[in-house]
Structure formats: structure tokens, C-alpha cells
């Protein structure tokens, strides 16, 4: 079978490990990425939301709780969507199994499009942003997080350089302008991510007519620093980049 | 005497070395930064230009050659402005000796404000951007270059990690979220620069009502790669960040 899109979340081993870690509530997502992405969300009262890479639907539920009129959650992984339908089932939430870059929603538009840590899996960022721009209503907002280019730049992604006692000396950085595939072990071997420069990430939005409203390089919440002391290293290099852009001023 | 603003360019040793290097025509400026900043310049026909940190006035002359109606070049260094008046004297160019963060031009506004590699010397970026926003005419454009935060992040600014034979293994990165002073030897000891994150650089513009139009992380021109082979390392980590922002859409 020709494997067109990477779908690690349907891998048995990955799915088991990943869902266990996420369930723990003590992850980079819980303490860094999710608080930051939520801080950029506009009022959702009566708004339609598209969640690209919705996973277990937790964020879709959050949007409904905040007054969203409807949420469409899209994910490539059947397993994640099964979980979503169990754990975050709601009459205002619809789930769709599709690679986010192949979305065909004809003339639907959304007030808010959100994507949490999915875009670094997508090969053709330019085309994805074109699609997203079309799916945004006038004055619609697009908020997404991605692994920070500082993290994905180096081809050898073993990036903390340590001394003999294991102390982190510095972060090894390299290969910044060589955009494209990076292979990494993350629960399983050979997870593919795509590195893009900050200028590519930002300018592609602008070229498509979106206005940049905010860029975050978030650090851990205080609770995170208490429960996961290693998150102090976010001060040394940021794991995530979060961008908010708007169709209109 | 209380030294309020750093003015390395009036240091005898620095001035001599710096002007000699710039005169050579084979510098990072010539092959990376200047071509990139010029690529972002709008048509200057009939426009007024403010050049913050104008140095020897070369860019002011470039603007006049491209049709600017007047250029005001501002620099903290008397020596650089003496040079400017010798080398780039023109009836349409006025030079003003002032720290760029203390500019007091009452109600003047400019169509284009440009600043080449000066902003990383300025302590209070937020206040500088406030001032610049006031000095921009409606639909005015602000284009500036600064040392890339990837370069200024680590407090110990000796950043290429080399093996025993001097091969560059990777770039050492650290201290990203600790904004503020960095001390470096550059022709002379103790040159002070200010590190700011990408999110600070961008969001401060947005908060002041400017719209981000372009972000560049430029590489060397082909001529640069020929004359300064080490510029190939710009592919590994970018030296400069260039931002274009607009007052209006």
C-alpha cells in the first residue's frame, strides 16, 4: 500500500504510549502549549470552530464549553477519533477523519480555525495555508502551534549537549535554512516532521492575505515548573511557536 | 561623565577598524544584510526617508539615487557623521547627531523609516517603536535589520562549537528567554548588545498598530559565497533578522 500521509497516531505502540502520557496531565502540552494557545483564543460565543488535528477532542469540548455554536474536529487518525467520540461527544461537535491538508468542505467557512501541534507533520505548508484561508470567514482568526524552528532545525535532533555528568551545556543548533523532513524517535522510530524557518511560517500567512496578530514562544506555567522541573529549560530554548493571524484587520 | 548611551563608533580603535572593514566591500553587510534590506524597500520616488543609525550615509545616498525627496540620517557617532558629510553629501540629505532613541522631531513624519543593524544596541525597544510609529506617515513603512535572536540568545557569545581541527560542529544556543544585555568583543572589548526574542520583536510592532508585511532571514548573495566562502554558514544559522512593517494595510 502506498503510504501517502504519515499517520503515527494509528500505530498501536504509538497510540498506547501517547494516550497514556496525555492522560497523565503532566505534559508539555498541559503546561506550555495549551495554556498559550488558549490565551490567544478570541471570545467563542456563537462562533463556528474548525480544529485541525483535533486528536481526542479535548479542545473541541473546550470550545463548546466556551460558547462555540459548532465545532468540526478533523484528524487523520481513526483511533484518536474513536477516543474523541467516547470522551468528547457533544451534539455541537462533529468529527471528520481526513488528512488536514486534503480537507474538502466545499463552501463552508469558520470564524475560528485552530490547530495544535499538527502543522509540523504537514509536507506542503503553503497549500495548507491556502486551504485554511479559504475556510476562514471574513474577520476569521487562525491560531496554531507548531514545534519551534529552533527545535526542528538541526537534522540530528539529539540537541541537548551534555557534560559527563549529564548537565545540559547548551542546545545544538544547525541546518536552519534546510527546510524539509526531519526524522525523530518519539515513542516510535522514524516519526517524520517538517522543519520550516520562521520567515516561511510567517510570510506564507501574509502572502495569503492574513494579518499577523500575535506570536508566542511560551514558557511553562508555575504549576508545570513544580510538577515537571525540567520545564525550566524552556527558558533556554523554546519548544513551541504559536501564531495568531486574522483575515481582516 | 555619566555614559548614558553606548557610542562605540566614536571609539578611536573601533572607528578605524570598522571603517576599514566596511570600506573593503567584503562584509556580512555587503553580501547578506544590505541586499536583503534593499529587497524590502518600496518605491522611494518622491518619498521622505528617515535613516536611524545612518553611519557613513551610504544608504541615505542610495535612497536619494532612488528618488527620495529628502533623507534625514540620524546617528549617535560624530565620527561617522563627519565621514557621511564627506562621502555622502547631498542637498537632499540632512544629518543629525543624536541617539536614535532620543529623537525629538516634533511633528515631522516620514514615508519610510529604515534602520540597519542599529536596534540591537538600543536598550528600550518598546519606547523606540512607540517613537518610530509616531514618526511614520499614514501608510508609512518601517524596515529594519537586527542581529538574529538565534545569534544574540546565548550569554556566552562564542557560539560555534568546533572539533579539534577547527571544523564547526554546531551552533551553541541558550538563554533565549533571558532578554537584555549581551557583552561581546567586536573590534573592541565590551560591546553591549540587547537580546530580544522574536515574539518581542514582532509583537511590539503589532501592539503599536503596525502590520507585519515581511520577515527575512537572509542568506548570502552568490557573489558573497564566492568572495567570503565562510558565508555558507548562514545556511546553518542566520545572522540577521529583517522585518518590514506598515502603518496601515
DSSP-derived secondary structure letter, B229: G
The CATH number of the domain holding residue A131 is: 3.40.50.150
- On whether residue A113 sits in a domain, the answer given is yes
List the domain range (segments joined by +) for residue A122.
Answer: 45-246
- On whether residue A13 sits in a domain, the answer given is no
Contact A206, A212 (CB under 8 A): yes
- On whether residue A19 sits in a domain, the answer given is no
- Percentage helix, strand, coil for chain A under 3-state DSSP, each rounded to 5: 35, 30, 35
Return the beta strands (E) in B62-210 as ranges: 70-75, 93-97, 110-116, 136-147, 160-162, 168-173, 180-186, 188-195
- On whether residue A4 sits in a domain, the answer given is no
Cell of A64: 463548546
In this prediction, the answer to ipTM > 0.90 reads: yes
The answer to whether the CB atoms of B235 and A211 lie below 8 A apart is: no
- On whether residue A53 sits in a domain, the answer given is yes
Render each residue's pLDDT in chain A as its tens digit; 249 residues. 444 578 888 888 888 888 888 788 889 999 999 999 999 999 999 999 999 999 999 999 999 999 999 999 999 999 999 999 999 999 999 999 999 988 888 789 999 999 999 999 999 999 999 999 999 999 999 999 999 999 999 999 889 999 999 999 999 999 999 999 999 877 778 889 999 999 999 999 999 999 999 999 999 999 999 999 999 999 999 999 999 999 988
Residue B187, sorted as left (phi over 0), alpha (psi -120 to 50) or beta, turns out to be left
Contact B148, A209 (CB under 8 A): no
The answer to whether the CB atoms of A199 and B212 lie below 8 A apart is: no
CA distance A19 to chain B (A): 31
The answer to whether the CB atoms of B173 and A237 lie below 8 A apart is: yes
Please write the tens of the pLDDT for every residue from B65-75.
Answer: 999 999 999 99
In chain B, what residues touch A216 (CB-CB under 8 Å)? 199
- On whether residue A24 sits in a domain, the answer given is no
The answer to whether the CB atoms of A217 and B171 lie below 8 A apart is: no
Chain center to CA of B187: 17
Strand partners, A74: A52, A96
Which one of A170, A180, A238 would you mutate to disrupt binding with B, by most B Cβ within 10 Å of its Cβ?
A: A170
- On whether residue A15 sits in a domain, the answer given is no
Q: Which of A15, A21, A29, A98 is nearest to A59 (CA)?
A: A29
CB burial of A76-102 (b: ≥16 within 10 Å; e: otherwise) equals: bbebbbebbeeebeeeebebeeebbbe
Contact B84, B95 (CB under 8 A): yes
In chain B, what residues touch A154 (CB-CB under 8 Å)? 170
Return d(Cα B204, Cα A88) in angstroms, integer: 38
- On whether residue A179 sits in a domain, the answer given is yes
* Domains identified in chain A, total number: 1
Residue A215, sorted as left (phi over 0), alpha (psi -120 to 50) or beta, turns out to be beta
A 10 A CB-CB count for A61 gives 21
Contact A131, A121 (CB under 8 A): no
Alpha helices in chain B (DSSP H): 12-24, 28, 34-39, 58-65, 78-87, 125-135, 149-152, 198-207, 222-227
Amino acid at each position: 500500500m502506498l503510504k501517502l500521509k504519515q499517520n503515527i497516531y494509528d500505530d498501536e505502540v504509538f497510540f498506547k504510549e501517547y494516550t497514556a502520557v496525555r492522560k497523565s496531565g503532566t505534559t508539555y502540552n498541559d503546561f506550555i502549549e495549551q495554556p498559550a494557545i488558549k490565551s490567544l483564543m478570541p471570545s467563542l460565543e456563537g462562533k463556528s470552530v474548525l480544529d485541525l488535528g483535533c486528536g481526542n477532542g479535548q479542545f473541541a469540548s473546550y470550545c463548546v464549553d466556551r460558547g462555540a455554536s459548532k465545532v468540526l474536529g478533523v484528524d487523520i487518525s481513526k483511533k484518536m477519533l474513536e477516543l474523541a467520540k467516547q470522551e468528547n461527544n457533544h451534539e455541537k461537535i462533529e468529527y471528520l477523519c481526513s488528512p488536514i491538508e486534503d480537507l474538502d468542505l466545499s463552501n463552508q467557512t469558520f470564524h475560528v480555525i485552530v490547530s495544535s501541534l499538527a502543522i509540523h507533520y504537514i509536507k506542503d505548508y503553503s497549500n495548507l495555508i491556502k486551504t485554511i484561508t479559504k475556510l476562514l470567514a471574513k474577520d476569521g482568526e487562525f491560531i496554531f502551534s507548531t514545534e519551534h524552528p529552533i527545535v526542528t532545525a538541526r537534522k540530528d535532533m539529539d540537541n541537548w549537549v551534555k557534560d559527563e555528568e549529564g548537565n545540559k551545556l547548551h542546545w545544538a543548533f544547525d541546518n536552519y535554512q534546510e527546510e524539509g523532513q526531519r526524522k525523530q524517535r518519539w515513542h516510535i522510530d522514524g516519526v517524520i516532521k517538517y522543519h520550516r524557518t520562521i520567515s516561511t511560517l510567517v510570510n506564507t500567512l501574509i502572502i495569503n492575505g492574513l494579518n499577523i496578530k500575535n506570536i508566542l514562544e511560551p514558557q511553562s506555567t508555575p504549576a508545570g515548573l513544580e510538577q515537571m522541573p525540567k520545564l525550566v529549560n524552556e527558558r533556554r530554548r523554546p519548544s513551541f511557536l504559536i501564531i495568531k493571524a486574522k483575515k481582516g484587520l
